[in-house]
């Protein structure tokens, strides 16, 4: 294992990675809820520290540190030594942001959008989790004939619901974006068709 918190050398933790280094079962949970908590832990590997992420994304340290401080780059987990770890999905997310910058979106505007998205998504996530617990978990816990049955039903429900929720949110965002874009473009075309001159 190689790990560094300084310098620009790529640092990849090649041990088992994942969330195992950071989380341990909550002894206060009973078996079905413990299984649900384990299922909800993101099981993706998180081999990068900030320097590793820097190299993998090809961006600047000041940008990643700014994103981290602003709470927009959330680590997959913090390891036993207190070092935030990032996954391949984090690399892809940063690269998606860089694609928007390359296309011409100013960083200040991207950060503003990211803060708004974070606030909106955070609220939706709270409501979604609350709905799951109240209207899926509680009925299962109340109707299952055994802990084993409750565990199986909860984990299945969670594993089906998470990707379904992701698809739903992504689809809705895409539809909203495209509809809004089409309407703004036609509004501006109409406004521009007013006899004013061409661009200087």
Partner 1 sequence: MLDLVPDVDDRLTWVRDDEGLVAWGTAVRIEPGRGPERFVRAEAELRRLARTAEVEDVVRQAGSGLIGVGSFTFDADADGSVLVVPRVVIGRRDGRTWRTDITPDDADPVAEPASWPPRPRRQDRPRYAGSSLPDLHWLDAVATAIERIHDGALEKLVLARDHALWSREPFDALDLARRLTARFPRCHTFVVEGLVGATPELLLAREGRSVRSRVLAGTTGRSDDEVEDAALGADLLASEKDLAEHRYAAESVREVLATRCADLAGAPGPRLLRLDNVQHLATTFEGHLDDPTTSSLEVVAALHPTAAVGGTPRGAALELIRELEGMDRGRYAAPVGWTDASGDGEWGIALRCAELSGARARLFAGVGVVDGSLPEAELEETRLKLLAMQAALGASPRDG
The residues binding partner 1 (CB under 8 A) are 60-63, 65-66, 69-70, 101, 104, 106-109, 111-112, 184, 187, 192, 196-200
User: Which residue number, 109 or 160, has a Cβ lying nearer to partner 1?
Assistant: 109
| Gap between the Cα atoms of 150 and 128, Å rounded | 20
Q: Are 87 and 48 in contact (CB under 8 A)?
A: yes
Q: Which residues pair with 110 in a beta bridge?
A: none
- Closer residue to partner 1 in complex, CB, 40/66: 66
107-132 vs 61-69: helix axis angle to the nearest 10? 40
Q: Where are the alpha helices (DSSP H) in 41-106?
A: 50-57, 61-69, 88-102
By beta-carbon proximity to partner 1, the closer residue of 12 and 55 is: 55
Minimal distance in Å, beta carbon 187 to partner 1? 7
Taking residue 97's Cβ as centre, other Cβ atoms within 10 Å add up to 21
Q: Which is nearer to partner 1, 116 or 171 (CB)?
A: 116
CB of 184 to partner 1, least distance (A): 8
Mention every residue, 6+ apart, whose C-beta is less than 8 A from residue 98.
57, 58, 59
């Amino acid at each position: 294992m190689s790990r560094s918190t300084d310098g620009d050398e790529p640092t990849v933790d090649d041990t088992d990675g994942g969330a195992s280094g950071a989380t341990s079962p909550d002894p206060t949970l009973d078996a079905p809820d413990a299984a649900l908590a384990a299922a909800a832990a993101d099981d993706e590997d998180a081999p990068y520290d900030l320097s590793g992420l820097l190299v993998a994304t090809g961006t600047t340290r000041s940008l990643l540190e700014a994103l981290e401080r602003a709470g927009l780059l959330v680590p997959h987990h913090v390891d036993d030594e207190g070092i935030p770890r990032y996954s391949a999905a984090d690399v892809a997310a940063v690269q998606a942001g860089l694609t928007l910058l390359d296309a011409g979106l100013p960083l200040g505007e991207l950060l503003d959008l990211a803060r708004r998205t974070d606030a909106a998504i955070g609220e939706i996530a709270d409501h979604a989790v609350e709905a799951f617990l109240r209207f899926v978990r509680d009925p299962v816990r109340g109707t299952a004939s055994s802990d084993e049955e409750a565990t199986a039903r909860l984990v299945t429900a969670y594993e089906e619901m998470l990707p379904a929720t992701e698809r739903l949110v992504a689809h809705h965002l895409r539809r909203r974006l495209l509809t809004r874009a089409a309407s703004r473009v036609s509004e501006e075309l109409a406004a521009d068709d007013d006899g004013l001159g061409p661009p200087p």
